[in-house]
Amino acid sequence: MPYLPLPRAVDLREVGLRDGLQLEKPIPLEEKLELLGAVVATGVRRVEATSFVSPKAVPALADAEQVVDELKQWPDVHFSALVAGLGGARRAVAAGMPELEYVISASDGHSLANARRTSAQAVDAVADIAALAHEAGGACEAIIAVAWDCPFDGRTPADHVVDIARKAVDLGADRLCLGDTIGTTTPGRVVELVEAVRAACPGRDVGVHFHNTRGAGLACVLAAAQIGVTQIDASVGGLGGCPFAPGASGNIATEEVVYLLEESGVSTGIDLDRVLEAAAVAERAVGHALSSNLYRAGGRLQPRPRRTD
C-alpha cells in the first residue's frame, strides 16, 4: 500500500443521538435507547448522548434527563452531552452528566441565532461552565461552531477562531473541537485552521466535526487524519443537521468514516457491519431514508459469482 501519513488509530465520537436527532420529530425514549444500544454495539467508545438545551427550541431532545438516567447500563462507554450555556450545564450536572461539550459560535450571526448572545459573551461563559464540570468530576470540551463559515456572516477569519480557542483554554476548557456546522470547508482550510489552533493551544486535543453538505466531508476527515487528528465526530447513517444553521444537512456518516479509515489502515475499533445495523435502527426510528452512500450500497463489496452465459 502506498505510504500515506495517517495515524495508527483514531477515536471516533458518535453524535447521531444528538446532532443526528435534533432536527427530527421527537422519537420515543425506548426507540432512542434501542438506537443507543445499537450504537454502543458497534464498538464506539465515545458517544454524545443528548443535549441540554431549550426543549422548546429542540423538542427532539427534551428527554435529556431520562436519556442520561439510562446511560449507566453501558459503563464502558464515555458519554457526553452538549450544552449551549450555563443553564444547560447546570441541568446536565444535576442529571448526573458532568462531561460537557459547550458550543461557542465563532460568529455573532450564528451566536445570536443559536444562543441569543454575542460570540464574545459565549466565550466568557466558558469559565463558569468549565468550573461546574470540574467540580462535578467531569470535563468541558469547547466546540467552536461555524469555525470555517457562517450562514449569516460568511467566512470566519481563522485568527478569530484561534483567539476563541486560546481564550476558552485559558478559561478552563479541557479540549477543543472545530465544527464545520454548515458543511462548507475543504481539506486545505481544515489543515490550516487545525494547525493554527494547535499552535496557539499546545497540549490540548483538537477534534473535528464535519458535515457532508457539499460532499467534501470525507475528504476533510482524511486531511485531518493526515495531520494526526484522532478525535473525529460522525453520525450513524449520516443523520443530522443544525436547526439554527440554514443549509446544514447530513453529518458525515459513521460507516463511511469507518470504511474510509479502516481500508486505509487506520484502526477505529468500530465494526462496520454493526454500524450498518445501527443505521437500520436509526432509519426505522426517524421514518425516512438516510443520506449515507455506504448504507445504501449495503456495506463492503461482496463479489458475486461471474456470469458464464
From the CB of 208, what's the least distance to Zn ion, in Å? 11
Give residue number: closest CB to Zn ion: 19
From the CB of 242, what's the least distance to Zn ion, in Å? 5
From the CB of 181, what's the least distance to Zn ion, in Å? 6
Nearer to Zn ion, 14 or 19 (CB): 19
Nearer to Zn ion, 19 or 99 (CB): 19
From the CB of 176, what's the least distance to Zn ion, in Å? 15
Q: Residues binding Zn ion: what is the number (CB under 5 A)?
A: 1
From the CB of 298, what's the least distance to Zn ion, in Å? 26
Nearer to Zn ion, 200 or 253 (CB): 253
The residue assigned the cell 425514549 is 29
Residue type present at position 188: G
Among positions 67-96, residues that touch Zn ion (CB under 5 A) are none
Stretch that binds Zn ion, among 12-20, 38-46, 70-78, 271-279 (CB under 5 A): 12-20
Residue type present at position 172: G
C-alpha–C-alpha distance, residues 231 and 242, integer Å: 20
Task: Please identify which of the residues 150, 177, 220, 242 carries the catalytic annotation.
Answer: 242
Nearer to Zn ion, 200 or 229 (CB): 229
Stretch that binds Zn ion, among 11-19, 52-60, 152-160, 224-232 (CB under 5 A): 11-19
Nearer to Zn ion, 235 or 268 (CB): 235
Nearest to 278 by CA among 69, 41, 100, 58: 41
Q: Note if 242 is an active site residue.
A: yes
- What is the grid cell recorded at 145? 461552531
From the CB of 276, what's the least distance to Zn ion, in Å? 22
Question: Is 66 within 8 Å of 26 (Cβ atoms)?
Answer: no
Nearer to Zn ion, 64 or 200 (CB): 64
- Residue 180 binds Zn ion, judged by CB under 5 A: no
Task: Sketch the per residue contact string, 15 through 54, with Zn ion: x for CB under 5 A, - otherwise.
Answer: ----x-----------------------------------
Binding site for Zn ion (CB under 5 A): 19
Which sequence positions are flagged as catalytic?
Answer: 242
